[in-house]
Structure 1
Amino acid sequence: MQKQITLYGDIHKLSPYVRRVELALLEAGATFKTHRFDFFTKPAWFVGPDGVNPYTGKIPAITYGGPEVPPEEPSPLSAKITESHVILEFIADVFPSSQLLPSDPVSRAHVRFIMTAANNLEGSALEFFHGASEAYQKLLDGLEAIQKLLPDEGEFAVGEHYTIADASITPILRLVIMLAKTNAGKFDPDLGTKLAEELRSEKLAKLRKYGKGMMERENFKKAVDVEHEEFVFKQRFGRSA
């Protein structure tokens, strides 16, 4: 019998880091519950010494094992695991039959390299979102770097199965697409328009095809309400008239 898993995420459902973990759990066929809260308030049950993540106070985090308890009363008998990529590898280990991490060492290394590239892309995307104009070219370079790591044929980033590389990349691609589509953030709106043009360009055709396939998967649709996400994003970060 599977041990209990509780995923802790943001109340607005916008965090790409939480989305990574949610996608991996869904693809693994795991039974889990999700508790979303305003993590900026730093509740003691989350950040306190006996809390879910006393180390950084960040999401995502999961509790694994221990008794079934209310999410705001984490059991000392459960393991507390944080950082999205650490959690992804943990899920792959707990559910080996899901093939979220290949058995072949070379393929496993490629998965991890892609995850590193996804983190680099995410960093550039957030810098751009916060208004750093110099991050625009870094963002484009990051998109091209991801594209170069993808196979010329096939649905997945590595091999013939969905892996944690796909779970790592997809939410970051979704964030970049949302920045371009909503033009919401602190960046120059002209750069947002240029980003949208780049995403439609032939230069990024392979990446665009890959992202489209990932976002058409049933588990992505379970995890992401695209219309709601864009509405909340524009509401929180849209430009004043």
Structure 2
Amino acid sequence: MADQITLYTSPASPYSHAVEIALAEAGANFKKYYIDAKNKPEWFVSKVNPVGQIPAITYGGPDVPPDQPSPESVKLRESTVLLEFITELFPGAGLLPKDLVLRAKARLFLEISKSKLLPAWFGTFRKGEPIENLFAILEQLQAMLPPTGFVVGGYSIADAYIASILSRADIIFENNLNASGWPDDEGARILETLRGPRFVRLAQYKQDLFERPSFKSTFDKAALTEKYKGYFGTPGALQSY
């Protein structure tokens, strides 16, 4: 019997979604428990993740209810660490290629998505930073893609990570959601560029990402759209996911 895995997650969190996609790709048998990012239960902080962040995983130990984590299970956190853990726990899933150069390329793509793309996206709709900051990072990532397929040919954790960001960016722009006083047509203007000739390869890549069964089974766009709309009416909510 496989060791138990429990993923503590939040629907709004791109970090959590990336980990869930990877678990789905691996065919893992796991439990999923939603944590309210604005009202984390005390037991989660004291028994699962002392810094209170999601996602987090408990691994191994007895099969217990998620809200009663066993002291015998290993507690893991940080989305990129969890992605690497899943890759090694399920080597047959091929979430990183065997070729060392391709592995490095996948990790570089993931790192740029984490350290540059996410801040640029957050800065756009939270702080009203210039949209060209986001476009520049997307052009950099687009240039790293092969002519067809995924980042390093086969699907990898780099693809899982950016899929969670791009899907949420679509929701933000399609619904013109922002905390920075955008004009009413700003989201549509951004989407026009993203769907135009400047980002042809990225648009095809997004389509491939979103057609992946692991993505479809872990992403409820309608429900997430309503949740995001609610966030924009709640002071401080955007800082919590």
State whether structure 2 residue 124 is matched by structure 1 residue 128. yes
* TM-score, reference length from structure 1: 0.91
Counterpart Cα distance in 2 of 1:25 and 1:168: 12
Letter in 1 for 2:22: A
Q: 1:156 aligns with which of 139, 145, 150?
A: 150
State whether structure 2 residue 11 is matched by structure 1 residue 16. no
Counterpart Cα distance in 2 of 1:228 and 1:73: 28
Task: Give the 3-state SS of the residue equivalent to 2:217 in structure 1.
Answer: helix
Q: 2:62 aligns with which of 53, 63, 67?
A: 67
Task: Give the 3-state SS of the residue equivalent to 1:223 in structure 2.
Answer: coil
Task: Give the 3-state SS of the residue equivalent to 1:110 in structure 2.
Answer: helix
- Structure 1 residue 238, shift from structure 2 partner: 6.3
Letter in 1 for 2:143: K
Letter in 2 for 1:208: A
Report the equivalent of 2:190. Answer: 195
- Structure 1 residue 118, shift from structure 2 partner: 0.9
Alignment of 1:1-241 (within 5 A): 1-10=1-10, 13-48=11-46, 51-54=47-50, 56-119=51-114, 120-134=116-130, 136-153=131-148, 155-159=149-153, 161-187=154-180, 188-189=182-183, 190-237=185-232
Counterpart Cα distance in 2 of 1:129 and 1:58: 22
Q: Identity of counterpart residues, as a percentage?
A: 43
Counterpart Cα distance in 1 of 2:65 and 2:110: 32
Counterpart Cα distance in 2 of 1:212 and 1:100: 19
Q: Answer whether contact 1:183 1:238 (CA < 8 A) is retained.
A: no
Provide Cα deviations, 1:27-69, integer angstroms capped at 9, x if missing partner: 0010001000213223221112xx2110x21100011101011
Letter in 2 for 1:37: I
Letter in 2 for 1:14: A
> Which structure 2 segments of 5+ residues have no match?
235-241
Task: Give the 3-state SS of the residue equivalent to 2:75 in structure 1.
Answer: strand
Task: Give the 3-state SS of the residue equivalent to 1:25 in structure 2.
Answer: helix
- Structure 1 residue 143, shift from structure 2 partner: 1.1
Counterpart Cα distance in 2 of 1:192 and 1:146: 21
> Which structure 1 segments of 5+ residues have no match?
none
Counterpart Cα distance in 1 of 2:198 and 2:40: 43
Letter in 2 for 1:157: V
Counterpart Cα distance in 2 of 1:131 and 1:183: 14
Provide Cα deviations, 1:106-139, integer angstroms capped at 9, x if missing partner: 01100100001111111111111212323x2211
Q: Answer whether contact 1:16 1:172 (CA < 8 A) is retained.
A: yes
Counterpart Cα distance in 1 of 2:186 and 2:127: 10
Letter in 2 for 1:114: F
Letter in 1 for 2:104: A
Q: Answer whether contact 1:18 1:84 (CA < 8 A) is retained.
A: yes
* TM-score, reference length from structure 2: 0.91
Counterpart Cα distance in 2 of 1:103 and 1:128: 37
